[in-house]
């Protein structure tokens, strides 16, 4: 029988028997939550073998101290603090500080961080001209990513690798300017003048005012709306090595700039299988409603692989029980809509869809549950955020995670450029054929 699997785990080493008779002992790394990883760093040099793991479902790319999640138990913690506690008590700026710097800020540290955010809220005036160059059809995620990349043309981030000061300035710049960029791209899309940031407001209220005030009428942010936004941003703030964060780390590993790395992360987030799902969920639910509201029909469609249709906002690579963020958001949905006096028929459709899916063998067997994106769009819509801005909101929330993970990578003296290998399955050597002799 071919022996090509890890056969034994002896104390802190795993022993791997290969089909050609080789044996190799590999170190096992154990995390603080008792997660175990076989360190294959010497595998190729000692045996000539690599591992194969498309989609990296079984591959650890780093050791991190930022976020812990247990997909089987539905646990999510930032720097050890359960997401439910943060969602119920914290401000987004505190959580951002926690993720980037590793501890909850004391009052003095938080005040300094907020001052810094205020100091960096304005864009260079020249950058405003960029907005007029985008077509009216441009998706706000395309604008956001381009604008974040272009920040490197205005602000040097070379000192960002000096995490004792350079990063502080660049982190605050990004955290603050992304909010201004997001609001300006919305204003551009609806043809209204830009509204400048106001220092006296909180992070979320400031953003909402830039979105919804007009020169002829100021905007007083409703505390219910501010709280809802604060909650959503916290829930999105980090999620360990997801697609966009892995992208940020990959780009950063080549020592590309902080702005370039984050801009790439924004683009990875945009995809409908990742952060873009929040927009797709609402579009799907609206489509189902317009079609007569027959949920069963769409559940059956999702089960039929030839249809190419998936229930957006369902399923997760890591969560195989429930997504704790979805649980918090679902509860918040009812509260926020009630407080704002809004009845959204799409919320009822979403709940029906969840109920039917969760009692259907297809979804149960595959452990497909609503993820963070399933209910978030309903709150965003209730607080006035347009549908094509939903993924931008996700990016605003995820930014501290991207910055924190970028910092962690840069602080790690052992980090190497990300460069996976492949198993080549193409033609073996063939001779070049002159064009006149080709078929
Ligand atoms: N609807 C119907 N079937 C699904 C769904 C879904 N939403 N998600 C997964 N499945 C099925 C797959 O067809 C597959 O079935 P099979 O075993 O019969 O082939 C099985 O469940 C496993 O799915 P994979 O695609 O292998 O799971 P993976 O971990 O690679 O993908 C993902 C996870 C991308 C989230 C997937 O569940 C999906 O496409 N969901 C819809 C998009 C979405 O909501 N994305 C947001 C994720 S959360 C976030 O990124 C913020």
344 is catalytic: no
Q: Is the pLDDT of residue 1 over 50?
A: no
Confidence of residue 160 (pLDDT cuts 50, 70, 90): low
**How far is the centre of ligand 1, averaged over its atoms, from the C-alpha of 328 (Å)?**
21
Q: What is the mean pLDDT of the chain?
A: 93
Overall average pLDDT of the 56-77 stretch? 96
Asked whether the beta carbons of 155 and 257 are under 8 A apart, the reply is no
Please tell me the distance from the alpha carbon of residue 188 to that of residue 129, in angstroms, as a whole number.
11
What phi and psi, each to the nearest 5 degrees, are found at residue 289?
Answer: -65, -45
Protein residue closest via CA to atom 20 of ligand 1: 366
What is the SS3 assignment for 274?
A: coil
Q: Is 310 in the pocket of ligand 1 (CB under 6 A)?
A: yes
Confidence of residue 167 (pLDDT cuts 50, 70, 90): confident
Q: Is the pLDDT of residue 2 over 50?
A: no
**How far is the centre of ligand 1, averaged over its atoms, from the C-alpha of 315 (Å)?**
5
Please tell me the distance from the alpha carbon of residue 149 to that of residue 15, in angstroms, as a whole number.
46
Express each pLDDT in 73-105 by its tens digit.
999 999 999 999 999 999 999 999 999 999 999
**How far is the centre of ligand 1, averaged over its atoms, from the C-alpha of 367 (Å)?**
10
**How far is the centre of ligand 1, averaged over its atoms, from the C-alpha of 293 (Å)?**
23
Please tell me the predicted confidence (pLDDT) of residue 165: 64
Please tell me the distance from the alpha carbon of residue 317 to that of residue 173, in angstroms, as a whole number.
32
316 is catalytic: yes
Please tell me the predicted confidence (pLDDT) of residue 6: 55
Please tell me the predicted confidence (pLDDT) of residue 163: 54
Express each pLDDT in 374-396 by its tens digit.
999 999 999 999 999 999 999 99
> Which burial class, exposed, middle or buried, applies to 200 when counting CB atoms under 10 A from its CB (0-12, 13-18, 19+)?
exposed
Please tell me the predicted confidence (pLDDT) of residue 9: 61
**Closest Cα partner for 210 from 195, 224, 225, 199?**
195
Q: Is 372 in the pocket of ligand 1 (CB under 6 A)?
A: yes
Protein residue closest via CA to atom 47 of ligand 1: 274
Q: Is 313 in the pocket of ligand 1 (CB under 6 A)?
A: yes
Residue 56 DSSP symbol: G
Protein residue closest via CA to atom 34 of ligand 1: 273
Catalytic residue among 316, 344, 361, 439: 316
Q: Is 314 in the pocket of ligand 1 (CB under 6 A)?
A: yes
Lowest mean pLDDT across 150-164, 243-257, 272-286, 358-372: 150-164
Catalytic residue among 157, 168, 323, 373: 373
Beta strand residue intervals within 111-214, DSSP E: none
Please tell me the predicted confidence (pLDDT) of residue 156: 74
**How far is the centre of ligand 1, averaged over its atoms, from the C-alpha of 27 (Å)?**
32
Asked whether the beta carbons of 174 and 258 are under 8 A apart, the reply is yes
Asked whether the beta carbons of 386 and 287 are under 8 A apart, the reply is no
What phi and psi, each to the nearest 5 degrees, are found at residue 30?
Answer: -115, 130
Please tell me the predicted confidence (pLDDT) of residue 161: 56
Q: Is 367 in the pocket of ligand 1 (CB under 6 A)?
A: no
Asked whether the beta carbons of 69 and 240 are under 8 A apart, the reply is yes
């Amino acid at each position: 029988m071919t022996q090509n699997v890890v056969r034994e785990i002896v104390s802190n080493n795993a022993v791997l028997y290969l089909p050609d008779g080789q044996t190799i002992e590999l170190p096992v790394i154990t995390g603080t939550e008792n997660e175990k990883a076989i360190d294959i760093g010497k595998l190729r040099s000692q045996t000539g073998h690599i591992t194969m793991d498309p989609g990296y479902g079984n591959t650890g790319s780093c050791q991190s101290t930022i976020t812990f999640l247990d997909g089987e138990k539905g646990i999510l913690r930032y720097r050890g603090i359960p997401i439910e506690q943060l969602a119920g008590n914290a401000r987004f700026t505190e959580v951002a500080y926690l993720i980037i710097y590793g501890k909850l800020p004391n009052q003095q540290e938080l005040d300094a961080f907020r001052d810094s955010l205020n100091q960096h809220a304005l864009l260079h005036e020249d950058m405003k001209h960029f907005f007029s160059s985008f077509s009216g059809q441009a998706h706000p995620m395309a604008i956001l990513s381009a604008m974040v990349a272009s920040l490197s043309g205005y602000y040097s981030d070379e000192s960002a690798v000096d995490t004792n000061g350079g990063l502080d300035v660049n982190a605050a710049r990004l955290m603050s300017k992304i909010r201004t960029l997001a609001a300006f791209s919305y204003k551009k899309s609806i043809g209204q003048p830009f509204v400048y940031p106001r220092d006296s407001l909180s992070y979320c209220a400031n953003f909402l005012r830039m979105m919804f005030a007009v020169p002829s009428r100021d905007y007083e942010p409703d505390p219910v709306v501010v709280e809802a936004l604060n909650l959503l941003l916290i829930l999105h703030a980090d999620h360990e090595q997801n697609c966009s964060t892995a992208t940020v780390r990959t780009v950063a590993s080549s020592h590309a700039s902080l702005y370039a790395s984050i801009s790439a992360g924004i683009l990875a987030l945009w995809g409908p299988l990742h952060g873009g799902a929040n927009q797709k969920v609402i579009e799907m639910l609206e489509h189902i409603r317009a079609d007569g509201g027959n949920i069963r029909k769409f559940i059956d469609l999702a089960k039929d692989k030839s249809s190419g249709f998936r229930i957006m906002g369902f399923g997760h690579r890591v969560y195989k029980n429930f997504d704790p963020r979805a649980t918090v958001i679902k509860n918040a949905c009812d509260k926020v809509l009630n407080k704002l006096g809004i009845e959204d028929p799409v919320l009822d459709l979403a709940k029906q869809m969840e109920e039917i899916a969760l009692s259907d063998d297809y979804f149960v067997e595959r452990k497909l549950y609503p993820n963070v994106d399933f209910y978030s769009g309903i709150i965003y819509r209730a607080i006035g955020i347009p549908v094509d801005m939903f993924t931008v909101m996700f990016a605003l929330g995820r930014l501290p995670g991207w910055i924190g993970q970028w910092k962690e990578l840069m602080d790690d003296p052992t980090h190497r450029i990300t460069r996976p290998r492949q198993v080549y399955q193409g033609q073996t050597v063939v001779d070049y054929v002159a064009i006149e002799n080709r078929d």
